[in-house]
Structure formats: C-alpha cells, structure tokens
Amino acid sequence: MTRDLNSMNFVSTIENNKIPVLVDFWADWCSPCKLMGNQIEELDEEMDGKAIFAKVNVDEEDMLSNSYEISSIPTCILFVNGRVVQEFKGVVPKERLKAIIEEYTH
C-alpha cells in the first residue's frame, strides 16, 4: 500500500531508505492523478518491496509541492539515497515506470 507523505514524514521516508522511493504528487480533483495512482498501487503490489511508493496531496502539502517546484500534476519523482534521480510529469505507462524503477533496484 502506498504511503501518504506530509511535511512531518517526507524527509525521513526519502532519506532513510536503501531502496528507491517513488513519490506521486497528486490531488483528489485530478482525473489523470487517479489513473496514475491506480497504476502506482498496482506497481507497489507487483514489485513486492523492491521500492517504496508514496504520495503527496498537493492541496494539503503546498510547502512540499513548492519545494519540488510542482507546476502540474500528476508529477512523480524517483528518489534514490535521498536524491532525485528521475522526474515524470503526466500519466506515464506503468511498464515504463516499472522499468525505470528497476534500474535502481539491486
């Protein structure tokens, strides 16, 4: 199950993991976000612990959204060892996203 991130747990989630962390910046009113969210939930199950899947509601966490300069949603950011390694805007096909994440798994 994807984790809900906020300003209290964002940094610890990103920095304290040895595996990739994919963060989905989304909003409840955004239809493409719902599609992307469903794909991410499926990936979370398929990848079985090889990566962490998390989400940030941009309407509730504007400080986080601003700090990562989120200008459109959905936007996904892939973190490895606490650093941004990839960023995706819009709906990305699930298989493409999975292949990119797998490049960073051991």
Told to judge if 30 belongs to the known catalytic residues of this protein, a careful annotator would answer yes
pLDDT score recorded for residue 30: 97
pLDDT bucket at 99, cuts 50 / 70 / 90: very high
CATH fold label, 3-102: Glutaredoxin (3.40.30)
Q: How many CB atoms lie within 10 A of CB 96?
A: 10
Q: How many CB atoms lie within 10 A of CB 78?
A: 20
Q: Which of 33, 47, 54, 58 is catalytic?
A: 33
- Residues 78-89: tens digit of each pLDDT: 999 999 999 999
User: Which of 19, 42, 33 has its CA nearest to residue 95?
Assistant: 42
Q: Which of 19, 27, 30, 100 is catalytic?
A: 30
pLDDT exceeds cutoff 80 at 106: no
Amino acid (one-letter) located at 104: Y
pLDDT exceeds cutoff 90 at 100: yes
Q: What is the dihedral of CA 2, 94, 106, 77, to 10 degrees?
A: -60
Told to judge if 76 belongs to the known catalytic residues of this protein, a careful annotator would answer no
